[in-house]
Amino acid sequence: MSLESLTSLVTQRQFARRAEKFLPSLWAEVGDLFERHPGPIFFGNGAPAPELMPIARLQEAASRVWAEAGTRLGYTEAAGYAPLRVLIAERMAGQGMRTIPDEIMVTNGSQQGIDLIARLMLDPGDMVIVEGPTYLGAIQAFDAYEAEYLVIPMDEEGIELNALERAIAGAMRLPKLLYTIPTFQNPTGRTQSRERREGLLAIARRHGILVVEDDPYGELRVSGTPEPNLRALDPGVVYLGTFSKTIAPGLRVGWTAAPADLIGPLVSAREAADVHGERTTSRIVHQIAGGSLDDHLVIARAGYRRRRNTMLAALHTAMPEGVRWQEPEGGFFLWLELPEHLDAEALLPLAATHGVTYMPGGWFFPDRRSCSAARLSYSSIGEDRIEEGIQRLGAAISEALGQKP
């Protein structure tokens, strides 16, 4: 829907003022992109590969769960299935994050966690600190509560601390939240160094800003050594986890781990949206997470490692001079930086004529700015298609730069 027709719908239907900010549906836009350019290799999909989802294990677990369904399909369990909360607490403890089940609420994906924190914390005009670029879905959630943003630039080691200090000092109001994806960030694939993590927490503590650590990809490390989670360094951090990337996004099972005094208000905020979560899929996930998940993750990591390596090797041979990228150590994404005078969104139609599309970097900023970078996802595409797609992209960029491919 065009911005003009959206604006007129908002007026005609007397929608709230904020609707104009969050109504353009990202997924409708991505769908449009497909429709306009059918058939190309699409590097935009941030989902796991279907062949790396444990479907047979899910089927088995589902039939066991349904055999026992009985009378438990009524209301309750507003904070989620208790045994799953215990298991999540144990898994987090295994990763150095001391957490008890009372600090955990199971959510409808981690996206709901972002929404509920925003719902609980943000009055219109409140400031949220985000990395620039950041996760699109978080921008959508914060926009719905009429947040204002402090967008902090990143380098190879993540959020820049001097810029963070300066932005807070120069802000009209003290920001309320600092939302960050420190590990295998969406969209850049970057991981914050330990020094940055400690620095970020120190700054947030000094100003009394609540830190939200979004960590959907942390368990999908394929090289390098892990950095401690922010929540491992500071139990006051709100941590968002999910089974969307480790099992499957369609299950919609994630969680929020927060200081215990925040869980009650978050559960109340959630009741206003959906009373409580479902009571069947979380039991299926509990069976997998308590059983074969670690075995599955070994297979999944090997698959993502192969895909990442294929993309890196293809980039080395296909990209013209002046294009840069950083090797992600895990997760699903790689951030491709084109020469600065190229706008990745403006390049899309040409790329599509070469048979390849991607997510332009500008989409990952709250102000949708012009940006010369693109997010390339390697998670859901087979290796031969990755190779072919990168060759096509290299040819498109070369053409835009006026070079022979």
Angle CA(29)–CA(35)–CA(39) in degrees, nearest 5? Answer: 125
Quickly list DSSP for 255-267.
EEE--HHHHHHHH
Distance CA 279, CA 275 (A): 12
CB of 137 to ligand PMP, least distance (A): 5
Sign (positive/negative) of CA torsion 358, 347, 144, 7?
negative
Q: How far apart are CA 189 and CA 184, in angstroms?
A: 4
CB nearer to ligand PMP: give 133 or 137: 137
Q: How far is the CB of 314 from ligand PMP (least distance, A)?
A: 23
Identify which of residues 181 and 230 has a Cβ nearer to ligand PMP in the complex. Answer: 181
Which candidate, 301, 366, 303, 312, places its Cα nearest to that of 335?
Answer: 312
Structure-token pair, residue 341: 């005078």
Instruction: Give the C-alpha separation, 220 to 189, whole Å.
Output: 11
Q: Which is nearer to ligand PMP, 23 or 285 (CB)?
A: 285
Name the residue nearer to ligand PMP (CB basis): 214 or 343: 214
Report the nearest approach of ligand PMP to the CB of residue 242 (Å). Answer: 3
Task: Give the end-to-end CA distance of the chain in Å, rounded to a whole number.
Answer: 36
Work out how close the CB of 46 gets to ligand PMP at its nearest, in angstroms, rounded to a whole number: 4
Residue 288 CB, shortest distance to ligand PMP, in Å, is: 15
Determine contact, residues 307/223, Cβ cutoff 8 Å: no
- Kindly tell me which of 122 and 248 has the beta carbon lying closer to ligand PMP: 248
The Cα–Cα gap between 361 and 355 comes to: 19
Q: How far is the CB of 210 from ligand PMP (least distance, A)?
A: 17
Q: Cα 373–384–333 angle (5° rounding)?
A: 30
DSSP characters over 158-203: EE-HHHHHHHHHH-SS--SEEEE--SS-TTT-----HHHHHHHHHH
How far apart are CB 248 and ligand PMP at their closest, in Å?
9
* 136 vs 201, beta carbon nearer ligand PMP: 136
d(CA 238, CA 254): 14
Least separation, in Å, of the C-beta of 114 and ligand PMP?
7
**Residues in the site for ligand PMP, rule: CB under 6 A?**
46, 109-111, 135, 137, 181, 186, 214, 216, 242, 244, 249, 254
**How far from chain centre, in Å, is Cα 370?**
21
- The two beta strands, 373-377 and 359-360, are antiparallel
Q: How far is the CB of 113 from ligand PMP (least distance, A)?
A: 8
Judged by beta carbon, residue 28 or residue 346, the one nearer ligand PMP is 28
Tell me the backbone φ, ψ of residue 139, rounded to 5 degrees: -60, -45
- What is the rounded CA–CA span in Å between residue 134 and residue 119? 19
CB-nearer residue toward ligand PMP: 99 or 134: 134
Q: Which residue is nearest to ligand PMP (CB)?
A: 109
Closest CB to ligand PMP among 247 and 396? 247
